[in-house]
Structure 1
Amino acid sequence: MSKISVLVVDDAPFIRDLMKKALRTLFPGIRVEEAVNGRKAQQLLGRDAFDLILCDWEMPEMSGLELLTWCRAEAATKTTPFIMVTSRGDKENVIQAIQAGVSDYIGKPFSNEQLAAKVRKALARAGKLDALQAADTRPAMTGMTNDSLNALTGGKAEVVRRAPAAVPAATAAPAASAAPAAKAAAPAGRGQGQLRLASGTLECVIKAISLKEALLIIKRTDTLPQVLEAAVLDLEQGEADIARLNGYLHAIAALEPKPDSEWLQVTFRFVDRDPQKLDYLSRLIARGTGQRHYVPGA
């Protein structure tokens, strides 16, 4: 039985790492290669054959849409399954990708189960589903995060110990959540936004923001977010203007020093390397989050 080979294309090292580890855990024996942008992916595709391409949309040097267009014009990759992995969920973007010949589409953030379903579907259409080795022999993971902890932290024990220390107050049973005091208004901050996780979307208040990360305040729910969980931060700058920033949850703590704290403080670490988004963050910091801006999501 031949080994399935997948090419993961994304300019964010964190996202590439999560996807590689998720694929290797979900499908033991699969071969996964990576590229930092469309140009590097072109070079790999020119000298090696792949059964599936998982590609981000917005990347420096060559975007995912440009790579898709190139692939469909080349004889060797004309029919290769191509899944666009992106936070661009607008109708016009989906139509644009379909017209360019995309095989499927998966929005960020997503769970391992969603990723596995898309991969199986794409390979089934290509007649290569049987080549997946031991597809269901390991328990499915609930997210694309904690299995990558050692790789992301370089195996440093002190970093591994720190994650549980930030969560106890947030994980205690919400016994007092029904009390009248729990209905207090959200803490004040610099602006409003939405934190999109694989499990759903949470309204958030931006307490502070820098080029590296944003400090967010979210209301506690029954389903708690997890440290190292991939996410997308949507900053709503107007009725039609939304800035989409990719990243992961670096730290989570109770906002108040009590076990039934209604509010959580989340450190959202950015992973976007696109110069356009870095420029946007610079302007956002300088002007404040109440201004109207637009940055295409990736």
Structure 2
Amino acid sequence: MANVSVLVVDDAPFIRDLIKKALRSHFPGLQIEEAVNGSKARQVLGRVTFDLILCDWEMPELSGLELLQWLRAQPGQEKTPFIMVTSRGDRDNVVQAIQAGVSDYVGKPFSNEQLIAKVSKALQRSGKLQQLRGRPVQASTGHAQESVNALLGARKAAPSAEPAVEEPQEVVLRSPARAQLRVAGQQHACVIRRLSLRDAQLLVRRGEQIPSLFESAVLDLEQGSEGSAVARINGYLHSLSALEERLDSEWLLVVIRFVDQDPDKLEKLSLMIAGAG
């Protein structure tokens, strides 16, 4: 494959679009291909070699870890840069990925600056960064706007989304459930006011750094009476408003639109909705 090439692997179309938009903005000469899951990526990698692979961990059919283990067993692929894009940051998962030969991590949710820094580092190590055409790598000052452009460009032909309140599979929680919202490396304790298979309406206490619209996000939902299990749902910040009609409103009303298509996560989400109804 000519020039410098990267394969983006993620089962969530919105995440793929965000990554591609960021890469094209900062690396104009980069050739980008994509795969909708690990199984499709393995088929592509069986025919074509890439200079870098950006891969989600949790995917149907073949996980990111399984794809990495397969790749490292292929002749000539022992040192291909492989960056795992994942919300799994606990020690056991990190050790697993390191043992399998991962090159680096990007934690979900991520900003464009974090992603570009990791990609630049990987390409620099492999000697590919200087081959790229166009302007030099620089930090983004408007990752929220880039995310908006990625969304509009990817869904130009799609009909306007209906408000979440009109969705049939939805429950307004009588007792707001606790959750943790992670956006651009920041953690926000929150409570869930409304929950559906498509999105969640949250109450978040206003902090020094307010998240931006269309930022990628991870919502950690506590399950069980003592929060013994946590479901991590990937999404993006769809709307943001003050809870009270005043300048010093302490609480923010946030809607997270989900992008996960993982059957296990959707099943857990369905059970949580059913149990709260």
Q: In 1, distance between residues paired with 2:27 and 2:126?
A: 17
How far does residue 124 in structure 1 lie from its aligned partner after superposition?
A: 2.0
**Which residue matches 2:96?**
96
Query: Which protein is richer in strand relative to its size?
Result: 2
**Which residue matches 2:70?**
70
The answer to whether the 8 A contact 2:111-2:215 is kept is: no
TM-score (norm 2): 0.87
1:208 aligns to 2:210 (yes or no)? no
3-state SS of the aligned residue for 1:228?
Answer: coil
The runs of 5 or more residues in structure 1 that have no matched partner are: 160-187, 290-298
Spell out, residue by residue over 1:84-112, the C-alpha distance to the aligned partner (whole angstroms, 9 max, x if none): 10000000000000011111111111111
Q: Give, as a single letter, the amino acid of the residue that structure 2 aligns with 1:278.
A: L
**Which residue matches 2:234?**
246
How far does residue 239 in structure 1 lie from its aligned partner after superposition?
A: 6.1
> How many pairs align?
262
1:147 aligns to 2:149 (yes or no)? yes
**Which residue matches 2:217?**
231
Root-mean-square deviation (Å): 2.5
Q: In 2, distance between residues paired with 1:151 and 1:207?
A: 31
Pick closer, same or farther for the CA change 1:249–1:221 going to 2, 3 Å. Answer: same
Q: In 2, distance between residues paired with 1:137 and 1:96?
A: 31
Pick closer, same or farther for the CA change 1:139–1:113 going to 2, 3 Å. Answer: closer
Spell out, residue by residue over 1:47-95, the C-alpha distance to the aligned partner (whole angstroms, 9 max, x if none): 2221000000010111001100110011142221101100000000000
**Which residue matches 1:112?**
112
1:121 aligns to 2:109 (yes or no)? no
How far does residue 132 in structure 1 lie from its aligned partner after superposition?
A: 2.7
Pick closer, same or farther for the CA change 1:73–1:131 going to 2, 3 Å. Answer: same
3-state SS of the aligned residue for 1:47?
Answer: coil
**Which residue matches 1:174?**
none
Larger deviation, residues 267-276 vs 120-129:
120-129
- In percent, how many aligned pairs have the same letter? 57
3-state SS of the aligned residue for 2:109?
Answer: coil
Pick closer, same or farther for the CA change 1:58–1:66 going to 2, 3 Å. Answer: same
**Which residue matches 1:260?**
248
Q: Give, as a single letter, the amino acid of the residue that structure 2 aligns with 1:210.
A: S
Q: Give, as a single letter, the amino acid of the residue that structure 2 aligns with 1:146.
A: V
3-state SS of the aligned residue for 1:145?
Answer: helix
**Which residue matches 1:130?**
130
The runs of 5 or more residues in structure 2 that have no matched partner are: 162-173
TM-score (norm 1): 0.81
The answer to whether the 8 A contact 1:253-1:264 is kept is: yes
Q: In 2, distance between residues paired with 1:59 and 1:137?
A: 30
Structure 1 outlier segments of 4+, above 4 Å: 155-159
Larger deviation, residues 105-114 vs 95-104:
105-114
Q: Give, as a single letter, the amino acid of the residue that structure 1 aligns with 2:242.
A: A
Larger deviation, residues 125-134 vs 209-218:
125-134
